[in-house]
Structure 1
């Protein structure tokens, strides 16, 4: 499965964006937590916010990015891209997981006798 590398890189912050210091502070505070989830409907500025944070205080942190679309609802495709995004942080990350994910799957056998 070919990887579209454009899905793996955060778009740069646009200079015409309205600064949102309260939200970028919220993102920065999230670094002290195990997980920060940014979940909003399409078009509400999630990418713009992360781009703004990244251009400022977020420059010193490593960041894995994945842009999702409808086709990523397929579990194999989603995991492939998820691993590829994490692999942008270090080259050897996810090699064995990717190989396992794309290895041939054994066929399921029907049981030869009832289990009840």
Structure 2
């Protein structure tokens, strides 16, 4: 998650790097969906992950009371992972969409 503060060059650079990384992922996913697997040359130059296994990582999300979602009913919700947020400007960008931020929980906003 990238905290965005107006006028801060560091956040801008992080956002641009993340945008490039996500654009590359989107390009590769489209190619895979169209039946194009990585080439032998791409795999030859790729790092090798040996003795691998599946694992899970925790991503920062938000919980709260939702109003006005295009597909979900109003009420309690748990968002997808947060990619960028500006509490000073009142918005968050999750994997799936922007959210306008209302009031933060008075206890500091951390779910148990």
- TM-score, scaled relative to structure 2: 0.22
Larger Rg: 1
Q: Choose between structure 1 and 2 for higher RCO, CA contacts under 8 A separated by at least 6 residues.
A: 1
- Greater helix percent: which structure? 1
Higher strand share: 2
Normalized against structure 1, the TM-score is what?
0.22
